[in-house]
Every structure is written in structure tokens, then in C-alpha cells.
Structure 1
Amino acid sequence: MPSALPLKKARFAENDKIGRWIDTSRAIHSLPHVATTHPWARRVHGVAPYEHRYLVESDCWVEKFKDSSFSLKPVEFRPVKAKKRKMVLQDGSSILRTYETDIELRSCEEGGVGIMSQHATAQVNRPSIPLARWGIDRISNVVFVPELSLVVGASMSGRVALITLTKPQPRHDQHEWLFERGFKIEAILPTRRDEDAGLRPICPLYGVAVGPLPVATGSGDNKARNNLRYRLMIHYYNLRILSYEISRNVDTNRLQVA
């Protein structure tokens, strides 16, 4: 199960150019069963798992925006105060945007705090493999599964991020969180075990598909809703298909992948 990112490891960045952001890139290293280094690179070149950590620490996206107004510090709380909120979009929606290997959630209000996860689907690969064999790093296949509060973000390189949309829990003191909405990455597929077994082919992604599985319905709607299961299929250019079953535990609210 993924563990929460300690608050002290999240970074708050702010300046006049980029606005205000919370960087949660370090959270990827708290996920179990994630192959941040390709098995060929581990076996042949002895690449240590910390190299991806080095990528997160040394190639932080906010570094290029440093100026006199820039600040980078741990995340903190703010005092509760009444304010008139001005929404970016009229319906109050937030925008989730994906890049090559990065994921960001823009704030729903003007001057609000966004969430950024950098290098989420990045992987340390064997340098001798031509880039064309992997496909371009670009999270371009995005599927929303509202029943699971889940966004599936698939990269052309063949890696898939399972992203849960979240909201901070209300605090019972005189402070509140800096942000209104957030997200967390709960899994990266294929799993480390599947990559070590050679199940992920050395070719680009063809596409992904997500659909509900039939469930046994009992009396009332709660039982059916609590047993929602979905099938996620990852299709590669060589016609190999990897299939996973995903559901959400109603007691812990964690995403389960089988």
C-alpha cells in the first residue's frame, strides 16, 4: 500500500512568474512495487535505485524560475479567514494537466495553490536502447473513472500512472490547508514484478482501455457500489496486452491493483 508523503518532504514554491505550488515529486519513492529503474539497467549497468531520487532532487522544475521573488520552503498551514473566492473557471472546475512525465493540478481559484508531481512516469533506462524503441515520454492517453475518483494517465513509453483525485481533510484548529484540491499517485504500471519478468515489451504504447467488471448486486445499492471493480488493459505496439483489476477499498479508501 502506498504511504502518505510526510508533510516536511513536500515543497512549497512561490514567485511572481509561476504563482504558488506544492511539489509532491518525492512521493513516487514511497510507492511499493514501482520500477523507477528498468531491470536491464539494474542488471547490466548496476544502476542503483537512488538515481531516480537524484533526478527528482537535482532537476526540480522550479529551479529555472528563481528570481528575487522566489521562495522554496516546506508546506505550512494558514490561519482560517473569510474570503471571497474568484474562480478561474465559472463552474469552479480544476484543470489536471499532463506533460512528458509530469502531472499538475492547477488551482480552481485565482491566486490559489496548485499541485505538481515531476518525473512521475520517468524511468532510468539502459542507454544503449534507441529512444524510438521505447516511444516518446508523453502522458497523452488520459482516462477519467469518476466512480473510483481515478484518472489513468498513460505515457507513450508504456508506463501508466494511477492518479486519485483528493481533497484535504478539514482541520479542527484555527488553521487550514494551503490548497483546496489535490491528487496522489497510487501506482505506476506495469509493476516492478511484471517489468522484472519481462512482461513490458521494448516498444511504444498503443493505447489503454478501462471498463467496469460485472459484480454481484445484493439488496440495496450500497453493496454494488462497494464492490466496484474495473479492468485496465495496457496495449503495446507489438500487440501484447497487460491486464490489471483495480478497485477501491471502502474502509481505507486506498486503490487496490491486482
Structure 2
Amino acid sequence: MHTDDTGVTGLLRRASDDLTPDVHRLVTGGIARGRSRQRRVRIGSAVASLAVIGVAGTLAAVVPGLDDPNSARDTDVAGGGTVATQVPDPDRPPTAAELRPLVPPQEMADAIKSMIGADDVRAVDVDQPGQDRARLYRATVLQTEVSFRIRWYNSPLVTEDGGQPLAPSHICEPSPGVDCSTLPDGSRLLRNDVEPFVSGALIAPAERSLTLATADGWQIDVVSPNTGRDKGRDITWNEPALTMAEIEALVTSDEWFR
């Protein structure tokens, strides 16, 4: 070996020695930091994995067959075409198979009592053949009687006399001023808030009511009046016992389903 080559080799060796990491310091510091970040790393890894899966799924849906030279991707990109996404109409008559099962009757009564702070809740016999699986409850709130009714709105009773199957929108009357909204899952919510007429000592009867038609076939009706009885006499409050927000929380709850 030439003298020049030997000098160069020695120089390279010294340079590489200077670059050798202090393993003990790095490991010690890494453990200290790693313990404090361990949970965040696990969570971050899980989120990152979900993000990768979501991106991959999106790419697969939008650009199918990336590895296939004969895929539709090349035709769409070359022609400047777009892929249309079909969104099903949620407002359709639900089938019996979609209907969620209800919790037992007593469990439903207990949930009603807990949610609205009722003094008592009693079940009322419904005089119907039972095909619509109806349940009716009456709850005492501030000496007024709040009614809660749930039934299968698209039952065989609807079509046995030649009627058409019902979609969730059947509760929304086609008239001006109706407060009917659509929930993200396609369920429909119909509100009816009648303000009581007050003139001096006279307070007219009034009630708040709300009807929910779920996308899977259940209809829930809640009515809260401002009238009731206390110690054998009729009473009338300035407002119904429940607010509209309380009624909405009641009908949209998942407590009624298993």
C-alpha cells in the first residue's frame, strides 16, 4: 500500500470513530422519554393504522385496479371522466327484518321514569290486535300526565286493506309551517309546540308533542300537556311539564332497544 493510501485510511478511521454514537446516553434518555410517551405512541399507531386503512379503502373505491394496466382507471383518467357515487334514499318503507327488538316492558317504564323524573309510570293496555307491537305508558310529572307511545308503523295492519307501505316521511304533513326534520340516519322528527294562551288568571290548555319515525320502522309519540289534577281538582300550569328539548331527548334515546 502506498504511503498516501495509508494516511487516507487512517484519516477515515478517525472520522468514523468521531461519529460513533454514545449508546449508553441514547438508550438511557430513550427509556426515560419512551415510558412517558408509550401510551401516546400506542394510540397514535392505532389511529395511523386506521387512517392508512381508510385511505387505502378510499383509493380502492375511487381508483379501482391500480395494479391492472387494463383497469377502468386508465380510461377514466384519459377521458377526464368521474365516478358517480350512488347514495341510497333513506326514506323508504323499512322491512320487518330491519326492526330493532324492544327492551322488556318494565325496563322501558323504568327508563321513562328515570329520564324525565316522573313520580310514577304505568303501562296502559292497548286495544289493538297486537300486530303493530304497540306499548303505551302514562307518566306523572308535576301533576300532569305525559304519554309515551311506541309502535311499529309499517306493520301488516297498514297493508292488509290495500294500503301502501309507509316510509319515515309519512309523519310529515304536506302543509306549511310543519316543523319536520330529517335525522342523519333518515329518521323523521315532527315537532308540535302549542303555546298556552294566558289572559289574566285564565290559562288555556296546551301541549307539546313530538313524533319520531325511525328509519327501521318504529314510531314514538310523546305528548306533554300543561293540565292535570291535584287532590281532586283540575290544575293548569303556564307551561307543559316537559320542554321540547326534554321530549326530543326522550324519543331519540336508544334506551328502548336491545
Instruction: Give the TM-score band, short-chain normalised.
Output: under 0.3
More helix, by proportion: 2
Instruction: Please identify which structure carries the higher strand content.
Output: 1
What TM-score do the two structures reach when normalised by structure 1?
0.25
Which structure has the larger Rg? Answer: 2
